[in-house]
Amino acid sequence: MKTTIANVHKHLNETVTIGAWLHNKRSSGKISFLQLRDGSGFIQGVVAKAAVSEEEFELSKEISQESSLYVTGTVVEDSRSPLGYELQVTGLELIQEAVDYPITPKEHGTEFLMDHRHLWLRSKKQHAIMKVRNEIIRSTYEFFNNEGFVKIDPPILTGASAEGTTELFHTKYFDEDAYLSQSGQLYMEAAAMALGRVFSFGPTFRAEKSKTRRHLIEFWMIEPEMAFMDHEESLQMQEEYVAFVVQSVLKNCQVELDTLERDRSQLEKITAPFPRITYTDAIQLLKDQGFDDIDWGDDFGAPHETAIAESFDKPVFITHFPLHIKAFYMKPDPDNPDVALCADLIAPEGYGEIIGGSERIDDYELMAQRYKEHDLEGPAYQWYLQLRQYGSVPHSGFGLGLERTVAWITGIEHIRETIPFPRLLNRLYP
C-alpha cells in the first residue's frame, strides 16, 4: 500500500511503500539508517541486511544524497523519533541516482544557499519554515472566514500608488503608465463599501534598495478592510487575528517548531489583548533609554522599534503617529488633529513592524483637501474619492506582512528564508 510519511501513523504494524528522497544516511555493520523525506515529512528507514536482498543492502550503503527511490517496509513505533515512528525496510527500488548534489551536510554560507534556493528548499529547516508559512496562510483564511469576511483579489498592475509615494516599479500597460502594486488597500476600501468586511492576500512590491535582514522587494500582504468599524474596533480585530494565527501554529506545527528549535514559551504568551503605547509616549520612552537620534515627528528605525518592543512581553501597538509622516488616507484624531488614528504592531524579539493600520478618512471634503496637499488630483485617484461621495461610512483596515510574520513566529534570523523561491529583485537587494 502506498502512503506518505505524514500518514504512516494510520498504518502501524502494516507494510507500506513510500516514494521518497534520501536526505542523509549512515551505516553500521549490517544495518543502514536512511533519513527519508517525501515532502510531507521526514522518517528514518532501518535497513537490516537480513531483511533485504544483497543488492538492496548494497544500494542502501551506496545510494547518494537526494537520490529518489521507493521504500517498502513495516511501520513501527519509535519514541526517539520526532515523528514517533520509523520504517523497518523490506525493499528498496532506485528511481534516479543524484550525482554530486551541491548542498552537502556540511555548513554553507547564506549567499551560497540562496544561490541554490531551488535545492535548499529541501532541507529540514526550510521544509519546517514552509510548513509554518502554510499554516499561517491556512489559519488566516479560517479566521477571516469565521469573522464573515469575503476574499477579494485586487489588481497587481495599478495606475497609482496606494501610499502616495514614488517607491514604485514602473512599467507600461500598452500606452499607459502602470506600476506593480504597492498595496491592494484602495481597492479593498471600494470592496468594503460593497461587501462590508473583505480581505485580500497577494504580492506587493516596494522599490526600495534596502539591504537589511528585515526587508524584501517583493512580499505578500494580508489586507482586511472593514466598513462601519472605527480605529479601536480595528485594533481588537488585529490582536485577535494575530493571536489566532500564533495559537494555530503552536497547535499544528509542533514538529516544525522543534526542528527550528523555536522557544515555544515566547509564542505561548501571545494572547489578546496586546499592550499599547502612543507614539508620543514611545518617543519619551526612547529618550529615557538614552536615544538621542530621534525627536517627535521622526519615524522609527529598527533599533527604536526593538527597544520599544523589549519593554513589553507581547506584540505592542504604537498608536497615534504624527499625521505628516503617515499616508494621505489616514483619519486625523478628532481630539488632536496633528496625529492620525493609526497604529503599527511591533513584534517581540526584534522582528519589527508586522502590521500597519488606521481608520480611513470618510469625509469627502477632507479627502479632497488631502488630495491637493499630496498632489493626487489625476484621474487615477478620482474613483477613490468617489467612495466618500456615495454613502460614505466610518471604516478601517490594516495590512500584515506575511514574510516578516513568518520570520517572527519561526524565530529565524533572515527574512529571505521565508520566501519559497529566489526572486530576482530580492536577490539583488536582499
Q: Are 349 and 315 in contact (CB under 8 A)?
A: no
Identify the pLDDT of residue 225: 98
What pLDDT digit, counting tens, does each position of 156-196 carry?
988 776 665 557 888 888 988 888 888 899 999 999 999 99
Identify the pLDDT of residue 43: 97
168 is written with which cell numbers?
514604485
Domain range annotation of the chain: 5-96, 117-417
Architecture, CATH, for domain 117-417: 2-Layer Sandwich (3.30)
Rounded Cα gap, residues 143 and 272, in angstroms: 14
Rounded Cα gap, residues 380 and 429, in angstroms: 30
What pLDDT digit, counting tens, does each position of 300-352 carry?
999 999 999 999 999 999 999 999 999 999 999 999 999 999 999 999 999 99
Identify the pLDDT of residue 163: 61
Identify the pLDDT of residue 171: 87
Q: What share of the chain is helix, strand, coil (3-state, %, to 5)?
A: 35, 30, 35
Rounded Cα gap, residues 58 and 1, in angstroms: 25
- Give me the residue label for grid cell 469573522: 147
Instruction: Show the low-confidence residues of the chain (pLDDT under 70).
Output: 161-166, 210-215, 422-430
Peptide bond into 348 cis (omega under 30): no
Quote the Cα angle for 412-418-423, to 5°: 140
| Reported pTM | 0.93
Q: Are 344 and 317 in contact (CB under 8 A)?
A: yes
State the number of CA atoms in the 13 A half-sphere of 242 facing the CB. Answer: 35
Domains 5-96 and 117-417 fall in the same CATH topology: no
State the number of CA atoms in the 13 A half-sphere of 95 facing the CB. Answer: 11
Rounded Cα gap, residues 68 and 36, in angstroms: 10
10 Å CB burial of residue 99 (0-12, 13-18, 19+) is exposed
Q: 5-96 domain in CATH 3.40.1360.10?
A: no
10 Å CB burial of residue 406 (0-12, 13-18, 19+) is buried
**Neighbouring residues of 328: CB distance < 8 A, sequence distance ≥ 6:** 164, 370, 371, 373, 374, 376
DSSP string, 208-276: ----STT--SEEEEEEEEEET--HHHHHHHHHHHHHHHHHHHHHH-HHHHHHTT--THHHHT--SPPPE
Q: Are 249 and 136 in contact (CB under 8 A)?
A: yes
